[in-house]
């Protein structure tokens, strides 16, 4: 009988490090301040959206001016402008603006959320209202941005961009050269600890937008958003915006969908497309399937001890792999809370392997993100 995959050989991939049995410590469960603090349902006690803007404005009073590289997507028809912040649901929002502008590469989709991720990020912007500066159109619209707990954003970025192959040929190579000790042309062996060590060693302004502090990509002290959404209350915050600007049907579509199944399909299709650009000694359908399987475990979509069954007759492609994952998800019967707890356990296990010296520097690099958006720098304690 095969054993569950707990990582890969030391010569191929770093392990995600979840133990065979895990428990979520009491201070990191659904009773924690992390979740309660960002609860959207305040039962009339206060206006969470107003409170977020007040906190930002308070922090901005003592913040130095920065050079910010903006990416704004707008719809003049609906009076909306979105400041893109990667790893905070940006694929979701770009798809909405693509759909509204009919900028979908000549293909008609019934919903924004049917648009493939390759089209989302690499399709032409010709039909879209897109700007890299705060122009009159943007400034006259209802401007909004979304933020995310910094530790969770970094972990998500690592899984999506460096554990999976998306950034192996770009940022993977940059990080590899930084350490000057790797010769892997695929840059596929970067560990989470190395990723964080790189981040705290480079000026924030030079970091990739997927993990740079928010003010370098969406500075609320400069463009003064009318609304700040949180990843922790993503569906509810989406609903607030969309229903107030005549797009209730999109909000209804969001709530009708199974997010995990949608993410499994989108991430699998996108990464299997990457097989076309990688050499077989870097990535094969089988090795990619293993990486995706581990990622879906880390995201709480399938159980941590579920077995990726591989045999000599296995022939993986995108469709067969998605089918396998969905079958496993159905068999696992993970509740929403169990999935969240498992996801949190993977993340905290990853941070437990990080040196205190790096964690202390991380708190400093993302100091304004913690302060400005109300997140706790001690949510991940020192080891």
Q: Per-residue pLDDT tens for 329-375? A: 999 999 999 999 999 999 999 999 999 999 999 999 999 999 999 99
- What is the residue-averaged pLDDT of the chain? 88
pLDDT tens, position by position, 160-178: 999 999 999 899 999 999 9
Distance of alpha carbon 154 from alpha carbon 230, whole angstroms: 15
At residue 315, the pLDDT reads: 80
What interhelical angle do 192-199 and 171-179 show, nearest 10?
A: 80
C-alpha separations of 360 from 180, 197, 199, 200 in Å:
24, 11, 12, 9
Asked whether residue 292 carries a pLDDT value surpassing 50, the answer given is yes
Q: In what order do the strands lie in the sheet with 80-83?
A: 129-131, 72-75, 80-83, 142-147, 227-230
At residue 183, the pLDDT reads: 66
At residue 46, the pLDDT reads: 65
**H or E element in which residue 130 lies:** strand 129-131
The answer on 290 and 162 residing in a single domain is yes
pLDDT tens, position by position, 77-108: 999 999 999 999 999 999 999 999 999 999 99
Number of domains in the chain: 2
Asked whether residue 27 carries a pLDDT value surpassing 60, the answer given is no
Whether residue 292 lies inside any domain: the answer is yes
Query: Which conformational region is residue 224 in: left (phi greater than 0), alpha (psi within -120 to 50 degrees), or beta?
Result: left
| Cα of 202 vs its chain's centroid, Å | 21
Question: Which range (176-185, 210-219, 260-269, 302-311) has the least confidence?
Answer: 176-185
The answer on 335 and 218 residing in a single domain is no
Cut 0.75: pTM above it: yes
At residue 24, the pLDDT reads: 45
Distance of alpha carbon 102 from alpha carbon 121, whole angstroms: 15
Distance of alpha carbon 293 from alpha carbon 314, whole angstroms: 15
The answer on 118 and 90 residing in a single domain is yes
Contact of 210 with 121, CB cutoff 8 Å: no
At residue 278, the pLDDT reads: 81
Percent of the chain with pLDDT over 90: 79
Question: CA end-to-end span of the chain, whole Å?
Answer: 36
Confidence of residue 309 (pLDDT cuts 50, 70, 90): confident
Query: Which conformational region is residue 317 in: left (phi greater than 0), alpha (psi within -120 to 50 degrees), or beta?
Result: beta
Asked whether residue 118 carries a pLDDT value surpassing 90, the answer given is yes
Quote the DSSP letter at residue 214: G
Q: Please name the residue that has the structure tokens 């659904």.
A: 30
Question: Which range (39-48, 128-137, 221-230, 252-261) has the least confidence?
Answer: 39-48
The answer on 179 and 298 residing in a single domain is yes
The answer on 216 and 287 residing in a single domain is no
Confidence of residue 14 (pLDDT cuts 50, 70, 90): low
The answer on 52 and 181 residing in a single domain is no
The answer on 360 and 305 residing in a single domain is yes
**Range(s) of the domain holding residue 103:** 45-148+212-256
Whether residue 243 lies inside any domain: the answer is yes
């Amino acid at each position: 009988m095969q054993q569950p995959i707990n990582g890969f050989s030391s010569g191929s991939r770093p392990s995600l490090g979840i133990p065979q049995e895990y428990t979520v410590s009491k201070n990191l469960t659904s009773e924690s301040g992390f979740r309660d603090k960002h609860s959207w349902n305040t039962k009339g006690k206060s206006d969470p959206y107003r409170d977020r803007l007040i906190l930002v404005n308070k922090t901005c009073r003592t913040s130095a001016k920065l050079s910010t590289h903006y990416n704004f997507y707008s719809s003049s028809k609906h009076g909306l402008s979105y400041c893109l912040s990667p790893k905070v649901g940006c694929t979701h929002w770009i798809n909405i603006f693509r759909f509204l502008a009919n900028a979908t590469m000549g293909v008609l989709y019934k919903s924004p959320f049917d648009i493939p991720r390759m089209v989302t990020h690499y399709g032409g912007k010709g039909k879209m209202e897109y700007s890299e500066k705060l122009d009159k159109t943007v400034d006259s619209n209802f401007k909004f941005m979304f933020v995310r707990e910094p530790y969770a954003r970094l972990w998500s970025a690592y899984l999506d961009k460096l554990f999976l192959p998306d950034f192996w040929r770009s940022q993977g190579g940059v990080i590899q050269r930084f350490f000057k000790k790797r010769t892997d042309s695929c840059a596929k062996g970067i560990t989470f600890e190395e990723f964080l060590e790189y981040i705290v060693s480079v000026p924030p302004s030079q970091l990739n937008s997927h993990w740079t502090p928010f003010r370098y990509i969406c500075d609320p002290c400069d463009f003064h958003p009318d609304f700040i959404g949180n990843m922790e209350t993503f569906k509810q915050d989406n609903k607030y915006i969309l229903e107030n600007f005549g797009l209730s049907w999109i909000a209804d579509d969001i709530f009708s969908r199974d997010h995990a199944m949608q993410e499994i399909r989108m991430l699998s299709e996108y990464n299997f497309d990457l097989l076309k650009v990688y050499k077989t000694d870097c990535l094969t359908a089988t090795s990619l399937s293993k990486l995706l399987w581990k990622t879906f475990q880390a995201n709480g979509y399938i159980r941590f001890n579920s077995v990726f069954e591989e045999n000599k007759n296995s022939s993986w492609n995108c469709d067969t792999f998605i089918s396998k994952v969905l079958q496993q998800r159905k068999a696992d019967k993970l509740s929403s809370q169990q999935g969240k707890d498992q996801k949190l356990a993977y993340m905290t296990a990853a941070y437990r392997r990080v040196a205190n010296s790096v964690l202390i520097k991380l708190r400093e690099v993302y100091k304004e993100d913690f302060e400005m958006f109300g997140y706790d720098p001690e949510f991940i304690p020192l080891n």
